[in-house]
Amino acid sequence: MNSSENEQLTDVLIGEAILFLLRGKSPVTTRALLSRLRTMLAQETDTRRRETLKSVIAEISAREKTLQHQNAAVNAQHSNTDSARALPGVTHSDISRKH
């Protein structure tokens, strides 16, 4: 299967999962999408679709983990900045020089 066909099948599978969520009036979140894709994988019999579902699930999961790590880092940075602001005699420029 060439790259274009793979991308098209990926889009179709994600579209099917999202339509299922929308029809069920479920929230369309990354967690819900991954859950639906995993259910589809468990029920799928076509080898090509199964392999594509595995790839899609792995890619979305990896992106979700990356975003969670980035958000945690940003939150920690904001927390450190907020803590430093509460210290007497520490200015914003003192904090900026540290980062």
Quick: pLDDT tens for 11-20.
Answer: 999 999 999 9
40 vs 44: CA distance, rounded Å: 6
State the pLDDT at residue 89: 57
Q: Total domain count for the chain?
A: 1
Residue 88: pLDDT over 90: no
Residue 91: pLDDT over 90: no
Residue 99: pLDDT over 60: no
77 and 99 in contact (C-beta within 8 Å)? yes
Can you tell me which residue has the tokens 């920690």? 76
pLDDT tens, residue by residue, 21-76: 999 999 999 999 999 999 999 999 999 999 999 999 999 999 998 887 787 777 77
What distances in angstroms separate CA 65 from CA 49, 68, 72, 98, one per listed residue? 24, 5, 10, 27
Residue type, 7: E
Residue 33: domain span: 3-98
Among residues 38, 47, 1, the alpha carbon closest in space to that of 17 is found at: 38
Q: Note the pTM of the prediction, 2 decimals.
A: 0.69
CB-based contacts of 79: which residues, under 8 Å, 6+ apart? none
